[in-house]
Amino acid sequence: AADAHCVCLDDFEKYAEKHLSLMTWIYYCSGADGETTLKENRRSFRRIRLKPRVLRDVSTRDLKTTILGREIDIPICISPTAFQGLAHPDAEAGTSRASGTFNTCMILSSVSSLSLEDICCAHSGGTKWMDIYVWPNPRVTKDMVQRAEQAGCKGIVVSVDICQVGFKRRMAYVAGDIVPRNAIIANFDKYCKNGIMNETTFLDEVKCGDPSATWADIDWIKSITKLPIILKGIMTVEDALIAVEHKVNAIMVSNHGGRQLDGVPATIDVLAEISKAVGDKIEVYMDGGVRTGTDVLKALALGARAVFIGRPVIYGLAYKGEEGVKNVLQILKDELSLAMALSGCRTIKDINESIVMEKNLYCR
Ligand code: FNR
């Protein structure tokens, strides 16, 4: 799909490390505190063993599925990551075009280099969901939801694992700060200009949610939009069940790519228990450490309806902008298709826990 330099997703990461400025690279790659969870996300995938079935006519494979009723061509979607303009001038518009071309879902970060309107306009294909936090100022939250609706987004993702920003030691060493200060945050320009936010302090207000937020805020967000609500950052059965009670439409098992509370398990290690607990009441997605087609296969087998990728998209952008993101998606798609053939799965529905070794199903 790509070229001899980028054969698998890890190659894009190596390219990015070599070619991005030190501060940008560290901002993207780092995790919170001692980075235990960051490493665990990827390591845990490697511990899972597969049980392939044979002689099942896998001559054609169908990778299509649906999320919240909308068809996507691959069960591999894009997580929101901030400041994509630091990786490549194509920025989020390049990611939008790549995800549209692959007819998959892209979640727009609110802390984006381009405005959500420009990102949605860049490509009409695929499905766009808007990521928001419960910001301290409800006027900002409400306006962002309404703008997302108007721009054609089909879902509101509320990131609930960032009531404060996790501390990134490596960022502190190179930049003395934990978020890049030089980045443009297009979505909030408007609120600075019309006085809803203060131009000098807004960055501290928008980079995380309100620490006083509760489930009542989720009810409130539901009341201000007709769009489905997806909660991103659920890591326990307990919270998953509360999410069901609050009638959200879906949850994403996520630990923010190991950037928030260090010491939580890998997402793949809690996925099965969470997806079993919620059953078919709401859809369950996951992200964190997905880097190969077999990772996708394992996550789907353990109960994810679709997986999302964060850093690999940024590294694809760093490699070749929009083309690089397409390369990343194509490689993962090809790898998943091959893994399905070799494990005896012709369609996404055929992928279930029977292809994962029993001892991997719970609490490894
Ligand atoms: C993120 N993530 C994130 N999540 C979110 O809800 N809103 C955001 O704005 C961001 N921004 C962001 C920036 C950067 C640089 C990274 C690396 C991550 C978390 C992201 O959506 C996702 O959960 C993880 O990146 C998934 O893990 P992998 O695929 O990067 O291992």
**Cα–Cα distance, 199 to 156 (Å, whole number):** 26
In the reported structure, the alpha carbon of residue 278 is separated from the centroid of ligand 1 by a whole-number distance in angstroms of 24
Q: How far is the CA of 123 from the centre of ligand 1 (A)?
A: 22
Work out the angle at residue 59's Cα, subtended by the Cα atoms of residues 54 and 63, and round it to the nearest 5 degrees: 95
pLDDT category, 202, cuts 50, 70, 90? confident
Count Cβ atoms below 10 Å from residue 77 Cβ, excluding itself: 24
3-state SS of the chain: helix, strand, coil percent to 5? 45, 15, 40
Statement: residue 55 has pLDDT above 50: yes
Mean local confidence (pLDDT), 147-173? 96
Distance CA 329, CA 151 (A): 24
> What pTM did the predictor assign?
0.97
- pLDDT band per the 50, 70, 90 thresholds, residue 359: confident
Mean pLDDT, range 3-31, rounded to an integer? 95
Ligand 1 pocket residue status of 82, Cβ below 6 Å: yes
**Catalytic residue numbers, as ranges:** 256
Q: Where are the alpha helices (DSSP H) in the chain?
A: 9-19, 22-29, 36-47, 91-101, 116-122, 138-151, 169-175, 189-193, 202-206, 215-223, 237-245, 267-278, 293-301, 311-343
* 245 or 361, which is more confident: 245
Residue 81 Cα to ligand 1 middle (Å): 5
Ligand 1 atom at minimal distance to the Cα of residue 314? 15
Q: How many CB atoms lie within 10 A of CB 236?
A: 15
Predicted pLDDT of residue 361 = 65
Q: Output the CA 314–ligand 1 centroid distance in Å.
A: 10
pLDDT at 364 (0 to 100): 46
**CA dihedral (182, 186, 191, 192) positive or negative:** positive
Position 213, amino acid: A
Q: Which two tokens stand for residue 342?
A: 């070799």
Q: State if residue 235 touches ligand 1 by the CB under 6 angstroms criterion.
A: no
Indicate whether residue 311 lines ligand 1 (CB < 6 A): yes
Q: Determine the Cα–Cα distance for residues 131 and 80; give it in Å rounded to an integer.
A: 7
Name the least confident of 35-44, 91-100, 223-232, 353-362. Answer: 353-362
Average pLDDT over residues 341-358: 96
The helix or strand, by DSSP H or E, that contains position 352, with its residue range, turns out to be none
Measured on CA atoms in the order 256, 260, 262, 264, is the torsion positive or negative? negative
Q: What are the pLDDT digits (tens) for 178-195?
A: 777 767 789 998 998 889
Q: And the tokens for 101?
A: 């071309």
45 lines ligand 1 (CB under 6 A): no
pLDDT tens digits, residue range 286-329?
Answer: 999 999 999 999 999 999 999 999 999 999 999 999 999 999 99
- Is the per-residue pLDDT at 1 higher than 60? no
